[in-house]
Amino acid sequence: MTSPRKTYIIANWKMNFTPGQASLYLQRLSNRVQASRDIQVILAPSTISLQPLSLQINRRQFKLAAQNFYWRDFGAFTGETAISQIRSFVDYAIVGHSERRYIFNESEKDICEKVAAAIRNGVTPILCIGETALERKNGETKSAISAQLHEGLLNVSAEDIDKVIIAYEPVWAISSNKNAKPAKPADIAEAQELIRKQISRVYGKETSENISILYGGSVNADTAAGYLEIPGIDGLLIGNASLVGDSFCSIIETAKGIRNER
């Protein structure tokens, strides 16, 4: 694959940091992270922190992502936040994260609608897909990944597919899962090959070579290099390790080093 795809390092802060804490952490990161043309660092704070951080952030260093949003652009939906309301703050949005799927019971229809909503509002969706431990045990990994990919992209046209990023996130490997087990490079490589083949069948070979595929699941400073060196993996979706400045900055530097070697 010869496409000049960027490397994405995404920090999913989940339900951590108050707006004040997020601001202080961003300031510390800003003093340590150098902007890079080939490395895109993306921060996904809680929704309540998006607006103040958007005023503080240096967009040459970092971009912001929404962790969640509702797919309707407006209406009587108490407690929800539309992507149209936060699109001026963010460039990216995480969609289909396993915690949204399995804790909050988001359906494939919800996820499909969110991908389409992000695109029509000028925001790049980061579509998360991945099998559960039970699906893996039952030999259903390929069918689970294929189904989630198909459903998530159902409303994405050939003209818009290049606006989507895919994140392979096996549920059984996520550190917030008490039974988490690190994914093996061979498993990740196989998953990204499956994703590219399916994209190729639907959208064409060139699109499959150009689309960015990330990995997420128990990523830390010690494991980042091994994941980033897997052919076809274009970055990392990071949870716990992104909350610690030393760990997160170490991962960014690792990504830069691997990128320079290539």
Go through the domains of the chain in sequence order and give each one's CATH number. Answer: 7-261 (3.20.20.70)
Among left, alpha and beta (phi > 0; psi -120 to 50; other), residue 139 is left
Average pLDDT over residues 228-257: 97
Percent of the chain with pLDDT over 90: 92
The token pair at 54 is: 């958007």
What pLDDT was estimated at residue 177? 62
pTM of the prediction?
0.95
- For residue 3, pLDDT over 60 is answered with no
The catalytic residues are 97, 169
Confidence of residue 178 (pLDDT cuts 50, 70, 90): low
pLDDT score of 26: 98
Beta carbons within 8 Å of 55's beta carbon, 6+ residues apart: none
- pLDDT tens column, 88-131: 999 999 999 999 999 999 999 999 999 999 999 999 999 999 99
The rounded distance, in Å, linking the Cα atoms of 87 and 36 is 24
Q: What is the mean predicted confidence (pLDDT) over 187-199?
A: 97
Q: Write down the pLDDT at residue 94.
A: 98
Tens-digit pLDDT profile for residues 33-84: 999 999 999 999 999 999 999 999 999 999 999 999 999 999 999 999 999 9
